[in-house]
Amino acid sequence: MTTLGKNCKAYPLSLLRQFSGWTEKSENARKVRKEVKGETIEVPRDLTDEDYVYLQMNFTVTDGIFIDENIIFDEVTPQWIEFCSDVVGYQPL
């Protein structure tokens, strides 16, 4: 069962990508439907700097409001938490 992030906040991906330790799991992005050779398939969407993603209260980043789905960043380190606080301005409850 999916869990709604209780204190997540949306940020442009371009801001979060500024973190020097950023590693993105783009294969976990939300699925979109695409037609290939007359057949409809679902593939992860292409993430661009203009897309908004969600910084969750556990400092993971998701492509949606659910804390345990579509996780595109989960390398939570003290440096990442400091970046989120100092640069992004994120303060979880």
pLDDT in tens, 16-30: 999 999 999 999 999
**Per-residue DSSP letters for 47-76?**
P-TT-EEEE-TTS-EESSSBTTSSEEE---
Residue 84 CB contacts under 8 Å (≥ 6 apart), including other chains? 55, 59, 90
pLDDT in tens, 27-74: 999 999 988 888 999 989 999 999 999 999 999 999 999 999 999 999
Model pTM score? 0.90
Residues 71 and 67: their CA atoms lie apart, in Å, by 8
